[in-house]
Structures are given as structure tokens and as C-alpha cells.
């Protein structure tokens, strides 16, 4: 499988190492994952609730964990970037 290249020219924070759970890898469309990672890095948090949106905006300033929620077909998936921006994980809610 070829690696997915993600355009991060307007990224608000570094993604660090990007990893994906085996379950998410098997069930998600790689194009949707790529698109989600780009949106996440630009601060478009997807389908999070208003409270999580506000927490993410605060986390950008204070250096806490970031969470986004997107869809790939009928599957919802999460993207989480750790507080130190060392790792970003793509996963399904069942994988958490």
C-alpha cells in the first residue's frame, strides 16, 4: 500500500507521527482519512459537540489533547492528537 500524503500548508499544529488502528485501517476509506487529517490539522473539528469544540480551541492555546470526529461512509471515526503533538491517532470509537 502506498503512503497517504497529507497537505498541511495551513496546519495550526504539528500532527507528529500519524498512526491508525488496525480496525480503522480495515474499515475506513483512505481518502476520507486523508481528508479528515487535513481538516483536523486546520482546526476543523468535524462533528464534535460544542463543548468539545470549545475545549479543542482552548487546547490549541494551552497545549492539551485535540479530538475531531468525521465520517467515512456510515462509519464515524475519531482523530486524536496528543497534548505534546508527538502522535496523532486515527481510530474508530470501538477502538478507544
For residue 16, pLDDT over 80 is answered with yes
> What local confidence, expressed as pLDDT, does residue 13 receive?
94
Q: What is the total count of domains within the chain? A: 1
Query: Would you say residue 1 lies in a domain?
Result: no
| Domain assignment of residue 72, given as a range | 17-95
Query: Would you say residue 48 lies in a domain?
Result: yes
Q: How confident is the model at residue 57 (pLDDT cuts 50, 70, 90)?
A: very high
Query: Would you say residue 39 lies in a domain?
Result: yes
Query: Would you say residue 3 lies in a domain?
Result: no
Query: Would you say residue 8 lies in a domain?
Result: no
Sole residue written with cell 475519531: 78
Query: Would you say residue 74 lies in a domain?
Result: yes
> What local confidence, expressed as pLDDT, does residue 1 receive?
46
Other Cβ atoms within 10 Å of 1 Cβ, number:
5
Query: Would you say residue 32 lies in a domain?
Result: yes
Strand duo 75-81 + 87-91: pairing:
antiparallel
Query: Would you say residue 38 lies in a domain?
Result: yes
Amino acid at each position: 500500500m502506498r503512503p497517504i500524503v497529507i497537505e498541511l500548508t495551513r496546519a495550526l499544529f504539528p500532527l507528529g507521527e500519524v498512526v491508525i488502528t488496525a480496525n480503522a485501517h480495515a474499515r475506513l476509506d483512505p481518502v476520507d482519512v486523508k481528508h479528515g487529517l487535513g481538516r483536523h490539522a486546520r482546526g476543523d473539528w468535524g462533528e464534535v459537540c460544542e463543548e468539545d469544540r470549545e475545549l479543542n480551541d482552548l487546547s490549541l492555546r494551552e497545549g492539551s489533547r485535540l479530538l475531531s470526529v468525521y465520517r467515512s461512509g456510515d462509519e464515524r471515526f475519531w482523530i486524536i492528537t496528543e497534548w505534546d503533538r508527538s502522535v496523532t491517532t486515527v481510530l474508530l470509537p470501538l477502538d478507544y
